[in-house]
Each structure stands twice: as C-alpha cells, then as structure tokens.
Amino acid sequence: MLRRLALAAVVSLAALATTAPAATATGPVPSAVPTAGPLSSAFPALGPLPVPLPPLPSFLHGGSGVGQEKPAARTRLTVTVERSGVAGADGTFELTCGPTGGTHPERQGACDRLAEVGATRAGQDLFQPAPQGTMCTMIYGGDASARIVGTWEGRAVDTTVTRGDGCEIARWNNLVPVLPDLR
C-alpha cells in the first residue's frame, strides 16, 4: 500500500511538472504561490517559489542509484518442513521477497501469497498462533510441522506451525504455498 501511495504521489508530481512552464537557468520556475485568483494578493512580496521534485524512492525503481547497492529484501525467511508426507516438501528452504529468490520450491507463489496477506489487516496475525483460550476443533491433521524464522515485511518472525488441531490446520492452510499444500 505504501508503494501505491508513493507511486501516486510521484506520478502526480510528474504530471504537475509537465504542465508547469519548464524551468531553465534563465527561464521561469514552477510556482508554489498562487499567481492568479483571490490568494495571489496574499503573497505579493515573495514572488514565485521553486517547487523541487523529490527523488524517486528506491523501492519504485529497483535500486538506489549508480554505484550503490540494492536495498536488502524486506522478507527473508527460512522455512523448515518435517514429516509432511509429500515428496520433495520436507527440508529447509530459504525464501526472499523483493526481489524473489532463495531455494524455496515455490518462490514466486510464496512471495505473492505473503504480499497478498500482508496487504490486509489479517496479515498482522499471519504468523501468530491462535490466542490462548480459542476454541479449536479437535481434528488431527497429521504429523507435519514447520518452523518459519526470519523477517517478513521488516518484522521478526519465529513460529512453529503443526496440524494438531483445527486452528493449526487453518494456520497451515493460510500459509500455502509458503508451506506445502497438504489438503
């Protein structure tokens, strides 16, 4: 969402810059002060003030400039899956998002899912277990377990997900394809 807001602001400023007179060393400068209308007389002594355009944020253009390193991924997780019963699903996998990378078997799908959930209010509880005292169905979903450690959207993550009851099964399913689909 922050990216959308920043992009909208940059596009708006760019549109304003293209409709304002071009600024040159000897030419006019776009004004932040009204030059016509009822407010123009309120600032007669100031004259036109320059309106500088801010630099494009690095996350919108994929880097921070020539000769500078790319910013680190905001999501970097280590996912360890055990006893899933699915061929190739058990093991320890690295996942980075923004840019997508690592050894996770479904990197792009996992990053897409994390971004989708992160854009909602429910994303705040994505890695949290069910609150103490929550009524969970006593359905056993198998021996599978997973540990997820690292950072997600810049926040620390260290959680274990099992399939020991209905709440844990729901957590697991909500994290597919970060975790293997066992349905």
pTM given for the model: 0.59
Q: What is the pLDDT of residues 33-88, one digit of tens each?
A: 556 666 555 555 545 545 555 554 544 444 444 444 545 568 999 999 999 999 88
pLDDT for res 153: 85
48-54: list long-range contacts, CB under 8 Å, 24+ apart.
50/23, 51/16, 51/20, 53/13, 53/14, 53/17, 54/10, 54/13
Share of the chain above pLDDT 90, in %: 45
- Report d(CA 175, CA 127) in Å as an integer: 9
Sheet holding 91-97, edge to edge: 101-102, 91-97, 75-82, 145-152, 155-162
- Report d(CA 179, CA 78) in Å as an integer: 11
The residues, any chain, with a CB within 8 Å of residue 32's CB and separated by 6 or more, are 48, 49, 50, 51
How far, CA to CA in Å, does 151 sit from each of 14, 23, 97, 99, 166?
A: 34, 44, 10, 14, 26
